[in-house]
Amino acid sequence: MTYPDIQEEPAAEPSLTPYEIAFAATFLAALIAWLAGVAQAVLAGFIRFGVAPNIEALWSQQPAWNRVIDSLMPDLAAIARLGWESGGDDLGVSDPFFAGNQFVQEQLAQTRNLLVRISDEVYRDIGNALNKAVAEGKDVAGQAAAVRSVLDNAGVENWPARARTVAVTEVGRAFNYGVIAHGLSVTQSLRIPVLKTWDSKGDSRVRASHDRADGQTVPISQPFIVDGFALMAPGDPTGPAYLVINCRCKARLRRG
């Protein structure tokens, strides 16, 4: 899944806002630093020899981006733990959090794959800018300027918005999957039947599909059905972008 330009919703909830702000700031700083490395790689030939930008040089920076994402995963794991604890509060149990919980780890692995692929988006953006420059008959210097407009000028305005989108989406997703993981654990270990309920923010900015899903209650191991799609939790990465990006909804638990 990529992160398209979808109308941004407010933070997931007051208790998650500090985590979203911190994650967005950390992500943006790392992204801007990585984009600077991409610019140096893509424009190296132009700077040294005056030749056209080499978009394929972006991939030389992929290992660095992978390391960036790996450095962020402990933060998301900590947020999943918050969700786990919230699920325990819902159920009135104190089943201790296990960092190696399979459900949590599978979700974090999916999230890592999504974030790693942001480099594909950057490649696409550079390619689009270069194609437009060539179609407009711009010379090599103009093509280099087009690359810089993506990685430098546009970064000042657009990359912070993308960072906020990533933060709201990923923090909410990690939290909700922590909630669900606790419900599954309680069902399996304590033999307590657990139900989960889709809880929307209930304000004027909730998308219609999520408003219709509000209050939907299903067994913990079954998916919610939202606008015809099966979602295990709000923010489920297997769902379409329009149901997932910037989702502020929460999963809540109760005994069945």
Domain boundaries, the chain: 17-255
Closest of 14, 37, 18 to residue 26, by C-alpha: 18
Q: For residue 224, what pLDDT is reported?
A: 98
Q: For residue 155, what pLDDT is reported?
A: 52
Q: For residue 62, what pLDDT is reported?
A: 98
DSSP string, 91-139: HT--PPP-TT-HHHHHHHHHHHHHHHTHHHHHHHHHHHHHHHHHHTT--
Task: Return all residues near 59 (Cβ < 8 A) that are at least 6 apart.
Answer: 119, 123
Q: For residue 169, what pLDDT is reported?
A: 96
Could you tell me where the DSSP H helices lie in the chain? 17-42, 44-49, 62-91, 102-116, 118-135, 140-148, 154-189, 208-213, 241-244
Q: For residue 157, what pLDDT is reported?
A: 61
Strand 224-226 and strand 217-219: pairing?
A: unpaired
Q: For residue 15, what pLDDT is reported?
A: 65
Q: For residue 7, what pLDDT is reported?
A: 38
Q: For residue 154, what pLDDT is reported?
A: 52
Average pLDDT by stretches of 10, the chain with 256 residues: 40 67 95 95 97 98 98 96 95 88 95 97 96 97 95 70 94 96 93 95 86 96 97 96 94 94
Q: For residue 117, what pLDDT is reported?
A: 97
| Contact present, 112 and 70 (Cβ < 8 Å) | yes
Q: For residue 140, what pLDDT is reported?
A: 98
What is the Cα gyration radius of the chain? Answer: 21
